[in-house]
Each structure stands twice: as structure tokens, then as C-alpha cells.
Amino acid sequence: MAANTEKRGQRLVAQNKKAQFDYFIEETFQAGVSLSGTEVKSLRAGRCNLKESYVVIEGGSAFIEGMHISPYEHGNVFNKDPLRRRRLLLHRFEINRLRAAVTREGYTVVPVRVYFVGSLIKMDVALAKGKKLYDKREDMAKKAQRRDAEREFRVRNL
């Protein structure tokens, strides 16, 4: 996947693999992120964690909470709080669509990945619906079955 994004001028910084496991991803949106200078330098070094982050929509704006960007080591007084709330740059109609979906049954907005497009930092946020425990077990069984089939195919073709 990383090699695939390199070809299109994108460089992956962080990915939220738990989002695929915990949610059914319905639709994704590309958003910009409003950051300070030391946060950008820290992202260039790949120091970002999306594990427990989520998106909140308040008063016509979208914010990401819980995204951890480690402090830049040479940033001293210019470093911001690593877990501070950051504004997402989305179009008005995208924010309205996300707000309408979140107010419906069981939908949430989760960040999927953070990457560079040229010098700009972008984030994919997904409109997602939570999986039940039996859905997660079913996905794990399918993944194990696919792995076994690939292993058997490799053994036969040696």
C-alpha cells in the first residue's frame, strides 16, 4: 500500500488499522488539517498516532480529537499539546452530510489515514457504522480462510 501511494505523489504518515476492524466503512472524505509548524515537522518525521482518535462536528466545523502528534524535539516553546483538538478543513456540504449521518442510527466519523500530498497534509475521514462482535468474528474467519488458501496455493506451486 505504501508503495502504491508513493507513485501518486502521496506519502503515508499514519494509518488507523483498527477502523477497518471495528467499523463498516461506508464513505470516505479527504480533509485538510489545521496544524502548527512544529506539528508539521513532527508529521514529516512520521510521529503520529490515530489509534483512539475520532471526529466531532460542532457549530459548522469538524474537529479531530485524540490524534496524538508527538512534540518536535527541537521545537521547545513552540510545541503544542500532543492531544489537542485540531480543525479539519472540509467543504460546508461535506460537513452537513456528515452531521446528518451522525445524527442517524449508529453512524460515526473516524479518521482512516494521514498522508502528504506534495507539501500539504491530508486526512481521510470515513463515515462508518460500528460492527457487532459476530461481524468481527466473521471477518477474522474469512481472513484466516484466505490466508490458508494462499498458503496451500504456494505449497502446491513449488
What CA–CA distance (Å, rounded) separates 92 from 84?
A: 23
Question: Hunting for cell 502528504 — which residue is that?
Answer: 116
DSSP state of 77: G
Reported confidence tier of residue 15, pLDDT bands at 50, 70, 90: confident
> Within 10 Å of residue 40's Cβ, how many Cβ atoms?
16
CB 101 within 8 A of CB 110: no
Residue 139's H or E segment, with its range, is helix 133-156
Tens of pLDDT, residue by residue over 101-149, are 888 777 888 999 889 888 888 899 998 887 777 777 888 888 888 888 8
CB 135 within 8 A of CB 41: no
CB 125 within 8 A of CB 111: yes
* For residues 17-37, average pLDDT: 84
Domains defined for the chain, CATH in brackets: 2-132 (2.40.280.10)
DSSP state of 34: -
pTM of the predicted protein model: 0.73
pLDDT value at residue 92: 92
Tens of pLDDT, residue by residue over 41-84, are 888 888 888 888 888 898 889 999 888 887 777 767 666 666 77
Question: Hunting for cell 476492524 — which residue is that?
Answer: 21
Q: Does residue 4 register a pLDDT over 70?
A: no
